[in-house]
């Protein structure tokens, strides 16, 4: 997954650099939506727009990686607990441990850690579950801080481009010695485009971020419910020694 992510980012960045140089040489005759987007990209000062686009691509790559990982981590906890309950009812503790070990996902990992300490008593099992639960939570939230960074930095880059564009517009006014709309309109339009692209990037990443957070909350709730359920299952089957 990590190699795929790095290759994706490198490919995207190289594509941006190549596409930007090509777009800068294209005529303005096309009226398609893509061509309009390209034109606005160039008009907004490709240097700042490229930075915003890089934020979008890397942020989306991180979001996709998190979504794939979280979907893989979404274990059918009811089926897992039923299978462990059946093994313990038959007195097959090793089989229950093996079921938890072979099942992917943080919930199974937490249960497996608890079953490993079964011979040490209920207090040890509960402590192991809580400790491993904290570790799994950290793994689930991995990369969220970087997504948050790109959500925050994309509008900032857009605002920076806008401020620099406005400075250029005022320099044009000073050089012309006249406050004519034709002198400042183009510069102000170009300045505002960077802000628009920055805000669009932040909105897209924020939607994915909220989905990921909701997914993590769902998995965390299932982990907590399963942790309580496994203690009840162990007590019911008198598995503590």
Walk along the chain (241 residues) and give the pLDDT tens digit of each residue. 545 444 544 444 444 444 444 444 444 444 566 666 666 666 666 677 888 889 999 999 999 999 998 888 777 778 888 888 888 888 888 888 888 888 888 888 888 888 888 777 778 888 888 888 888 888 888 889 999 999 999 888 888 877 777 777 777 777 766 666 665 666 676 777 888 888 999 999 999 999 999 999 988 888 888 888 888 887 777 766 5
Q: In terms of C-beta density within 10 A (0-12 exposed, 13-18 middle, 19 or more buried), how is residue 137 classed?
A: middle
pLDDT at 241: 58
Separation CA 158–CA 196 (nearest Å): 7
Specify the pTM.
0.73
What per-residue string of b and e applies to 51-72 under the rule 16 or more CB within 10 Å gives b?
A: bbbbbbbbbbbbbebbeebbee
In the numeric block, which tokens belong to residue 147?
């997504």
Q: Quick check: 55 and 201 in contact, CB under 8 A?
A: yes
């Amino acid at each position: 997954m990590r190699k795929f992510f790095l290759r994706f980012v490198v490919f995207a960045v190289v594509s941006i650099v190549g596409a930007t140089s090509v777009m800068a040489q294209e005529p303005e005759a096309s009226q398609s939506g893509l061509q309009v987007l390209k034109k606005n990209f160039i008009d907004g000062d490709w240097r700042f727009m490229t930075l915003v686009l890089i934020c979008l691509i890397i942020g989306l790559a991180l979001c996709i990686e998190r979504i794939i990982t979280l979907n893989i981590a979404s274990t059918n906890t009811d089926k897992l607990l039923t299978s462990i309950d059946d093994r313990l009812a038959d007195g097959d503790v090793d089989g229950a441990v093996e079921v938890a070990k072979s099942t992917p996902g943080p919930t199974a990992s937490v249960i497996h850690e608890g079953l490993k300490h079964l011979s040490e008593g209920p207090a040890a099992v509960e402590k192991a579950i809580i400790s491993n639960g904290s570790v799994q939570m950290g793994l689930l939230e991995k990369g969220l801080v970087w997504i948050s960074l790109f959500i925050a930095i994309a509008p900032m880059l857009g605002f920076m481009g806008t401020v620099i564009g406005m400075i250029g517009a005022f320099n044009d006014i000073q050089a012309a010695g006249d406050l004519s709309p034709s002198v400042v309109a183009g510069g102000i339009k170009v300045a505002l485009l960077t802000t628009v692209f920055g805000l669009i990037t932040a909105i897209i990443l924020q939607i994915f971020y909220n989905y990921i957070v909701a997914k993590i909350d769902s998995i965390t709730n299932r982990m907590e419910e399963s942790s309580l359920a496994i203690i009840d299952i162990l007590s019911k089957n008198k598995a503590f020694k």
